[in-house]
Amino acid sequence: MQLVLPVSFSKENEFTTFIEGDNGASVAHIKSVLTQPDNFMPASQRICMIDGSSGVGKTHLLLAITEMAQRKGISHQYVNMASLVNLPTEVLQGIIVNQVICIDNIDLVSASSDWQRGLFDFINQFVENDNTLLLMASSQAISQLELTLADLRTRLQWGVNFSLKPLNDEQKQQALIQHAQALGMSFQDDAIKFLLNRTSRDMGVLMSHLQALDKASLQNKRKVTIPFIKSTLKL
């Protein structure tokens, strides 16, 4: 089954806006896979699994790697398992032809024995095809996934596994500023710090606030200031 899954990239999801924090070694390894000639690394190094709580940047990292592959002229595909689990597992055959494959939210396969088998077979096919990079993300560590297929857990543990660490407040502020600049937002110097101090510390929530502020500022043709944040987010 062929499935066309176009991905549109935005500046907010590039590496220029990804703040590594304490995740430098993880990011460096994943990036290095794309710079190795002729798949020099063994397959166990080219299959990477990242996990982490909400807001640590898993989706951002997957999209940034996919965009990086596009710039290098490497065939690529990003897919979100949330969009696939209700479809036949054969849809994976439509993306195995790509050299770089990023699969988000793979923990969702826990609810389906068919999808656990499908993902297991897909990983084996990736190895057989000698593709460049398979990067998967999960909200849970492999050891915590409720998998009925033991072989899938073993296969996931066979690759390189990273747990993304959350950013500290200073790094979160830097990330918000860079995202705001990528969006082309006009904002007061202390507005971003106010947003961080007065709302959730979760980066996913903070990014949602930033997008809401960007939309409101464009509609009202207003600079993002502290009073504007208070008014828009009803603080």
pLDDT at 37 over 60: no
Centroid of chain to Cα 96: 19
How many C-beta atoms lie closer than 10 Å to residue 180's C-beta?
21
What's the pLDDT band for 115 if we cut at 50, 70, 90? very high
β-strand partners of 160: 48
pLDDT at 74 (0 to 100): 93
Residue carrying structure tokens 């007061």: 188
pLDDT at 9 over 80: no
pLDDT at 194 over 60: yes
Which is nearest to 85 in space by CA: 48, 112, 57? 112
Domains of the chain by start residue, with CATH: 11-163 (3.40.50.300), 169-233 (1.10.8.60)
Cα separation, 219 vs 18, in Å, equals 27
CA dist 228 → 64, 140, 210, 231 (Å): 31, 37, 12, 5
pLDDT at 156 (0 to 100): 94
pLDDT at 28 over 60: yes
